[in-house]
Amino acid sequence: MSVQVDMAKFHDTPVGRFQNCENINLTWCEPDWFEYFPSDTDAFAYTTSTGLTIRPGRMFFDGGSTPRLSRLFAKFSPWFYTPVALVHDWLAETQACGRPLVDFDQSVAIQQEALKTMMLQNEDWKNVFVFNATRWALKSPKGRRLWNLQEDVCPVPISRKKERLKL
């Protein structure tokens, strides 16, 4: 299945605001996995166009969960849009832990809004294909299946996150 470039969807998506991106604290745990710790002061956050502020809490994080093969292409590095991935992964973490901040469709919309917000910060970061491909991946049956999985231990351990990614 190919991903169509939908300029209208990109242009129709509102923008929000990132705060304190310089305060993203990641501690290496093992190859490709980090633990995110929010700063005690001036914590990283994202405020949506509707005013919802998302402040990620402590969690294990692999950057953007991009398939290995797609990482060969520019701007598909799991770390290229780290602030966006942190926001989306926190929404997924709260859902998995039974404390959802938003529903599935809202999580996709917030990820897309955060991605566009970041892309507009630097013209070299803008890539409408990446914007559309991530929306397609998040809204896929696998994306919805992963969203609906519940966990008993929070933050969700790395071993369980690895299992989830294989589903």
Asked whether residue 1 is domain-assigned, the answer is no
Range of the domain at 54: 7-166
Asked whether residue 35 is domain-assigned, the answer is yes
| Model pLDDT, residue 67 | 57
CB 75 within 8 A of CB 39: no
Asked whether residue 75 is domain-assigned, the answer is yes
Asked whether residue 2 is domain-assigned, the answer is no
Asked whether residue 83 is domain-assigned, the answer is yes
Show pLDDT as tens, one digit a residue, over the chain (167 residues): 455 556 778 999 999 999 999 999 999 999 989 999 999 899 999 999 999 999 999 999 998 776 555 555 556 677 889 999 999 999 999 999 999 999 999 999 999 999 999 999 998 899 898 898 889 989 999 999 999 999 999 999 999 999 988 87
Q: Where are the beta strands (DSSP E) in 11-157?
A: 17-19, 25-30, 33-37, 45-47, 53-54, 59-61
Asked whether residue 118 is domain-assigned, the answer is yes
Give me the number of domains the chain comprises: 1
| Model pLDDT, residue 79 | 83
Asked whether residue 13 is domain-assigned, the answer is yes
Task: List, in sequence order, every residue forming a beta bridge with 27; answer none if it has no partner.
Answer: 35
| Model pLDDT, residue 1 | 46
How far apart are alpha carbons 114 and 46 in whole angstroms?
8
| Model pLDDT, residue 45 | 98
Asked whether residue 52 is domain-assigned, the answer is yes
| Model pLDDT, residue 3 | 54
Residue 90 carries which DSSP code? H
| Model pLDDT, residue 129 | 86
**Single-letter residue type at 120:** L
